[in-house]
Structure 1
């Protein structure tokens, strides 16, 4: 069971990291275009930057959401794996008196 969970966590991590990398690659292109438009000082290019900056901001939000989801998945898997010992049996913690 723990091996299955580790596999699922790995797949989730891998999928999320690929998505993040694709977004970051797209952001690099957007930033390059924004910089070129800014340097050109051509009014149409400067107006286009408004939309490009919005797209960049949305991409950043997506990256944050992906990392939040990834963190949540990782925490869930840690919670599940800490509920049992290495043989999948529940562990019983002894409460110490205060």
Structure 2
């Protein structure tokens, strides 16, 4: 199975399975898309607020709910990302090797 390196993580030698990397990339793209949508929602909310037109102000209630739901979706995606990344790091052969070395060094009485 092909592996890729992620720069800037740990000592730079951490290897991550390409499927995990693709999954992370997909999640980050989803997050970015939602954040872009939130930017548009916030702009519209601000315009409606500044207009002080009753219909626009009423519309803000729904826009703010949509914004809140989007924020909850982003939090969920980041939770999933964190869990997925943690699992991939725990499964890394390099981590297993380091863990075994640390266990050997930590033996009491030696």
TM class by smaller structure: 0.7 to 0.9
**1:17-37 superposed Cα distances (whole Å, 9 cap, x missing partner):** 110111011001100110010
Question: Which residue matches 1:67?
Answer: 78
TM-score by length of 2: 0.75
TM-score by length of 1: 0.83
Question: Where do 1:28-67 residues align within 5 Å?
Answer: 28-67=39-78
Question: Where do 1:70-81 residues align within 5 Å?
Answer: 70-81=81-92
Secondary structure in structure 2 of the residue aligned to 1:64 = helix
Question: Which residue matches 1:3?
Answer: 3
Shift of 1:43: 0.7
Question: Which residue matches 1:83?
Answer: 96
Q: Distance in 2 between matches of 1:68 and 1:2?
A: 26
Question: Which residue matches 2:13?
Answer: none
Q: Distance in 1 between matches of 2:59 and 2:88?
A: 44
Shift of 1:83: 2.6
Question: Which residue matches 2:24?
Answer: 13
5+ long unaligned stretches in structure 2: 5-15
In the comparison of the two structures, how many residue pairs are matched?
A: 94
- Structure with the bigger RCO (C-alpha within 8 Å, sep 6+) is 1
